[in-house]
Chains A and B, each alone.
Chain A
């Protein structure tokens, strides 16, 4: 029995380490910090950065044109007033959620395998939130009046409409951005100090030293660091659920068929984590390859992330099923029409594409063989990234374009500016990511050192309870 190849694979995967063998404190520190401190970045870095930066220029160009001309350059028109801007907003903010889940919830649950992926997952969160935050602002049409959304003593005696989830969004997203940034920065402190101590370049010494805020690694420092990390993790944990819940309220509070559903909050949160883990996989697979970090981001990590992807994908699939079921069960002609229109209306192609990407494709992750193949995981993650974007397209567009009154039906066609801004934000995301890979340690050095000492203890025959 135990000799069959499948069982061997099973055993191999279950016992695969979360840290390659033969590492000590020095080798871990060397390996990670040398990525940053090496003099010249590799050629692929320059190529990637150049492409990403060109896309940022495209983004700036399309934003400039948008500010001059107005949102009319986009494809939005009655009845579809929420086009790419809202689709992209929800997509980006969802992607961020995996970072927070990994860094906060898995920290509180003491899942050690999170250690090597949490740093760049958190960075991914920050950059995704930066991209997401732009869209509602630009969608307002007059972004220079964005501060009106905050309650402050203005000359108009106006106050944000606190009964509107759109006002909650402002606070949800800005809180999320603030907590994520603080959490990331607090986690970086000991590593910034390591870089400060190891840097040869005097300018780098000063910059890392400035950012390290005088970290000396004393016991008091570590104690406070630990406390702050746990507190921030506690703060960030509810945010994983609340932010996307509130984003889903933007839809669910409207009476539009296809939006007005109680399943929206959990279904959105699961979708966010699903999209986020797909993005973490998409990023971590090339990163471990090009930096030779297979010892740190091991097959065990990829396997675990594949499982999370499968689990959240199933929840999302349940969400789609329930959407169809409650439309049928409600006996409401508008709800029933909405789901039929989704499946067989003018946007049916996109709907079935979404089902293929989000429901069918991840089923391959049931197989250990698939989860043990890096290329297959990468392909599935990419498909899910696309699928989650299509999901938001279906929710936003197909619900709006044919609602109650057939006389006000219409079609939505994105324009080149919609695409320019969307690809532009992908460029911004990648640019920030390339800068991050170049200037900050992409894996938490001090947590990896802690992992080394744990592994040592195990090797010496200590049980985890000690």
Chain B
């Protein structure tokens, strides 16, 4: 009787047993790597905007305060996007005929807001409030990254729940004095942990990790 299988199948069978383990492990590793790329997380991806607004120029070189445009950050859940009128406080006087700013003027003329492309957004099932974070000493750049160095704005953090919890379980690592919250170039002192613990007491910061803190 002829053999059904060639004798090389013995080797193939043995290799495939170990091979399967290796392939599955490699697949898991690859998936993990892909999940951390900016393709998935959108971190460091500059998003095209209707007007190429540069935070680097406005907040960095000119030194505008964050709150000049994002005016509701201290009192509201949303930091607020500036209305076109805010842009026009300056741009009705300078660069009045720049082609780049035509969409801004058009928006002002027609009373139609500019539709910016959102860069940082948490999902709808997350309750997030800017004002409480600002009041408890969480700086703008802690979450939004070096905004004063961004030509076109990009997302600095993944905004994953894991990332939220990094701070919610250990706020002392991230807190800064209230006076420094809007400092775009804040450098933490060398005793940052001690400062953080002191601020936690002073500002009555709790480690809020109950599900209902954010998922209401």
Contact = CB atoms under 8 A, between A and B. Distances in A.
B15 interface: no
Q: For chain B, give the interface size range.
A: 10 to 19
A206 B4 contact: yes
Interface stretch (A151-159, A328-336, A428-436): A151-159
Interface string B1-26: 00011000110010000000000000
A249 B166 CA distance: 34
Contacts, number: 27
Contacts of B32: 153
Contact of B4 (A153, A155, A158, A205): A205
B161 A214 contact: no
Interface string A131-174: 00000000000000000000001111110000000000000000
Interface residues of A, number: 12
B162 A157 contact: yes
B125 interface: no
Given A157-B165, A214-B10, A214-B13, A209 B5 contact: yes
B161 A156 contact: yes
A213 B13 CA distance: 8
A196 interface: yes
A2 B161 CA distance: 79
Contacts of B162: 154-157
B160 interface: yes
Secondary structure at chain A's binding surface: helix, strand, loop or mixed? loop
Interface in B155-182: 158, 160-162, 165-166
B4 A209 contact: yes
Contacts of A213: 13
Interface string A208-250: 0100011000000000000000000000000000000000000
Contacts of A214: 5, 9-10, 13
Nearest to A153: B32
Nearest to A157: B162
A154 B35 CA distance: 10
A205 B5 CA distance: 10
Interface string B117-159: 0000000000000000000000000000000000000000010
Nearest to B166: A157
A157 B161 contact: yes
Nearest to B165: A157
Contacts of B4: 196, 205-206, 209
B13 A158 contact: no
B24 to A, nearest CB: 14
Interface string A193-210: 000100000000110010
Nearest to A199: B4
Contacts of A156: 160-162, 165
A155 B161 contact: yes
Contacts of A155: 35, 158, 160-162
Contacts of A205: 4
Interface in B30-51: 32, 35
A154 B166 CA distance: 13
Given A157-B161, A209-B4, 14 more contacts: A153-B32, A154-B162, A155-B35, A155-B160, A156-B160, A156-B161, A156-B165, A157-B165, A157-B166, A158-B161, A209-B5, A214-B5, A214-B9, A214-B10
* Closest CB pairs A-B (n = 3): A157-B162, A155-B160, A156-B161
Interface of B: 4-5, 9-10, 13, 32, 35, 158, 160-162, 165-166
22 contacts: A153-B32, A155-B35, A155-B160, A155-B161, A155-B162, A156-B160, A156-B161, A156-B162, A156-B165, A157-B161, A157-B162, A157-B165, A158-B161, A205-B4, A206-B5, A209-B4, A209-B5, A213-B13, A214-B5, A214-B9, A214-B10, A214-B13
